[in-house]
Amino acid sequence: MLPLIICSVLLSAPSVRAQDAGRLAKQLCVACHGVSGDSKSPMFPKLNAQTSDYLVAQLKGFRQHVRGESDARAYMWAIASQLDDATVASLADYYSQQPATTGGTGDATLIAEGQKIFEQGLPDKGVPACASCHGAQGHGNGQFPRLAGQHADYLMRQIEVFQNGTRANAPVMSAVAHTLGKDDAKAVTTFLQSQ
C-alpha cells in the first residue's frame, strides 16, 4: 500500500517545487515520520526540531547513497532521489521549525549512567562527551544533530551502522561510535530518549 501512495504522490508532482514542502510533508513524509515529524515508531526517526543543516545533509546523503545502511536504502533512497535542492532546503526548514517532543522514559539507573556519558564521556575508554558536539542539552547545532527526545532504538541502530561502516557520511561520528561498548550505547540512548 505504502509504495503505491509514494508513487502516486511523486508522479503527480514530477518536479517537486520548494513551495510545496509543507504539502509534501503532510502527504508523503507523514506516513512514516508522523504529523509534524513527531514519529511514534522507533523504526522512523523523529524530524521535529532537528537542525536544518543536518536535515539538508541527510537528504543529500540519501540521494548520493553515502548513507548506505539497509533501512536508508529501503526507505529513503528512492524518496530523496525525487527531491531537488530547493525542496530539500524547504523541507529541512519546515521540520526544523516543528516543536520538539520528548520520548518515553526508561530505567532510572540506566538514564543516570547515560547522562554521565553524555555530559562527561568515559575518559578511561576514550569516549568523548557527546555534549561537546551535540550541545549541552542534546539540542544539536548546525551539522551536529539534535539527539534529545529521539527514539532510543533508532539511535542504537545508528551507532551500529556507524560501527559497521554502512553509514559512512560522517567519519567523525564513526570514530566516536567505535569507542562505545554496547552497554554504554544502551545507557546513553535511553537517557537521550527521555529528554
Looking at 10, 32, 78, 100, which residue binds ligand HEC (CB under 6 A)? 32
Grid coordinates in use for 80?
530523496
With binding defined as CB under 6 A, does residue 68 bind ligand HEC? no
With binding defined as CB under 6 A, does residue 44 bind ligand HEC? yes
With binding defined as CB under 6 A, does residue 168 bind ligand HEC? no
With binding defined as CB under 6 A, does residue 58 bind ligand HEC? yes
Q: Are 9 and 76 in contact (CB under 8 A)?
A: no
With binding defined as CB under 6 A, does residue 132 bind ligand HEC? yes
CB of 108 to ligand HEC, least distance (A): 19
- CB environment 60-81: b (16+ within 10 A), e (fewer): bbbbeeebbbebbeebbeebbe
Q: How many C-beta atoms surround the C-beta of residue 90 within 10 A?
A: 20
With binding defined as CB under 6 A, does residue 195 bind ligand HEC? no
Grid coordinates in use for 112?
543516570
Grid coordinates in use for 113?
549512567
Q: How far is CA 105 from the centre of its chain?
A: 19
Binding interface with ligand HEC (CB under 6 A): 2, 6, 24, 28-29, 31-33, 43-45, 47, 55, 57-59, 69, 71-72, 75-76, 79, 91, 117, 127-128, 130, 132-134, 143-145, 147, 155, 157-159, 169-170, 172-173, 176, 180, 188
